[in-house]
Structure 1
């Protein structure tokens, strides 16, 4: 990242320094996020290239494949560089490529999910383990107690949450330090702005998923495209750059299975947005 106006790293959990442009490994699986890709070597090449370009934070989940993403990460990158942080998630299950996704944050399931992730990733401890969803069928306290115990057993270094409210984060903080939150968020979709604000105050990493989609229409797209044309960038690069400029605790994890697209994503740190640019982009929030 070359843009001197941006903070380039974030201290995750107070002790893991990661570059703010990471990589989301959902799309290295097969079609519909199911099974192995047709060409596994392509996925391995993308992972190698991400690390070559300075990415030291990779986000995945046991549900991606299921299991495929974690397996490919280990195949490509193990033994891992000391500075590489792999974050994975548990708490969702799916039984087919087009099947519905179901919550399961019971201690029984999370025990199996966590141990499975440790085995597939070839790790003794996961540096960042994130609860994929709070399960409405399970009292949150029971789920949090399991995660607290797993952390005490040194199976997990740091714990994060996904798709949560401020109130849910506060409840979790009664059991363990919350170091990251993954909610759907983009220049178009700002529903979780109060959560971002709380995370900023608490020095919690905010990791937007679907960071370049949701709520787009022709008028909003035109605003972004005009700025992109001025900068010699793509529309998606400007949407990602806005996130980096918007808050210093935002970590990007754009996903792709294409090396060229990966290189475009990793280059967004060199883009400078002026205050006028940012005001124009702020105005398109839905």
Structure 2
């Protein structure tokens, strides 16, 4: 177990990202997703991560159904702020106070809960002062509708401003061996303020499983086909990078995914990775990383194999919406 921030919730050292159970990464099976969530709870995972935009909306409903009889075993983290149009495409970001309140009510209803354990601003709205957005979030805490607050893909300055309005329990950003941007000031800021860190995409959106070596490995509806790192030229470079890490995993007798997750866990007890899994088999493989302790020599070799900036291509086609 790890604590998110000085006064945040106690969570399992590995959470479960549920996004792919409803969208983005090709086909899914709701029944297997529910079984996967139940198995995660059986194995001690208590942090489930979702957002209103996943589906949209259907991922929250899926989690609500899955945990209805096991509510006291789970910490539900959901997000608001990314607005989708009728066709499911993100059309903008909204941090206005009235939108915060309406989004919370919608998430409570879809999840079928009385309170959201961790409510996260999915993206920063540059048109709304962060103090206004967080003032509305603080009201939700006072009203008992939310227990703890978080923010995703925010800059150190924005985190400080939000934290001055109401304590930030955690910041969520992409972090893995191939995405080490948080090391450039964000993690230090969080530690100085006593804020936890949730690492999403800790397996590089599947790159660090070793199963994706060419674009055709992805289904036609997989959104990773739109990401720069999965374009043919970049993907060839990134696959060679992963092969170097894979060789170290073989020497240790673990999978490359387990080695990559163990590296994230080793970066600090205040970091909680939330790898996604759509099946019980992938879940069990990921959880195996929690029993893997890396030596200083092994960590040094991984740093050498995957230094800052090693991946080819940006994380998103448009990076203007992150680190605001």
Q: Deviations over 1:10-35 (max 9, x none)?
A: 255525221111101101114x379x
Counterpart of 2:9 in structure 1 is 16
Counterpart of 1:235 in structure 2 is 256
Number of aligned positions between the proteins: 276
Counterpart of 1:186 in structure 2 is 176
Give 1:101 shift.
Answer: 4.7
CA RMSD for the aligned pairs? 2.0
1:170 equivalent to 2:145? Answer no
Counterpart of 1:197 in structure 2 is 188
Give 1:219 shift.
Answer: 4.6
CA contact (8 A) 1:33 1:97 kept: no
Give 1:97 shift.
Answer: 5.8
Q: Deviations over 1:77-129 (max 9, x none)?
A: 11334242111111111225662452111122222110011111122211110
Counterpart of 1:43 in structure 2 is 33
Structure 1: which 5+ runs fail to align? Answer: 1-7
Q: Tell me the TM-score normalised to structure 2 length.
A: 0.80
Q: Tell me the TM-score normalised to structure 1 length.
A: 0.90
CA contact (8 A) 1:223 1:280 kept: no
Counterpart of 2:92 in structure 1 is 102
1:89 to 55, 65, 79: 79
1:121 equivalent to 2:142? Answer no
Pair 84,12 (structure 1): closer, same or farther in 2 beyond 3 Å = farther
1:206 equivalent to 2:227? Answer no
SS at match of 1:87: strand
Separation in structure 1 between the aligned mates of residue 141 and residue 200 of structure 2, nearest angstrom: 25
SS at match of 1:174: helix
Give 1:230 shift.
Answer: 1.5
1:269 equivalent to 2:290? Answer yes
More helix by share: 2
CA contact (8 A) 1:180 1:206 kept: yes
Counterpart of 1:279 in structure 2 is 300
CA contact (8 A) 2:199 2:273 kept: yes
Separation in structure 2 between the aligned mates of residue 33 and residue 63 of structure 1, nearest angstrom: 14
Moved over 6 A (4+): none
Structure 2: which 5+ runs fail to align? Answer: 208-228, 230-236, 310-324
